[in-house]
Structure 1
Amino acid sequence: MVDPAAGPRRSVLLLGYAGWDEGQLEDELGENVWLTADGDADLIFDPDYDSKWARALAGLGVDPAQLSGQSGRA
């Protein structure tokens, strides 16, 4: 059994704002607008924030030079 008083082993505090209308995020995911990946605790909790975006893309096999501002399906 996990002791809730012990708290998490690792944590990250992030501040920001994102807002979507009802169903907007689901629609965008359905339109293939977002790159998604399974969670990777080593990446999430790594304090090297300067290279995190590039490493996340590399984990998906994505070359950032090939990204486009347009979305859709190939």
Structure 2
Amino acid sequence: MDNSRCDYDLLEAVARKLKQLREAKGLSQRIVYIDTDFNIGKIEVGKTNITISTLSRLCNYYGTSLKEFFDELDQ
């Protein structure tokens, strides 16, 4: 990953928020992987620069919108 083009603080904030959403639903990383085919473990440590499409699919899976996701991320 090109370090000059990566916002690690944002990646970590997104990772924390995704973990919060998963835990609020009482889901394990394994269940999320089975249901979505996304290795959420790699995403939740903030080392994987996910696409907007992936984030959108995960938001839909957790029952939230991208707008709500980022509104809550700003707080």
Please indicate, yes or no, whether the TM-score normalized by the shorter chain is above 0.5.
no
Question: TM-score of the superposition, structure 2-length normalised?
Answer: 0.35
Looking at secondary structure, tell me which structure has more helix per residue: 2
Whose radius of gyration is greater, 1 or 2? 1
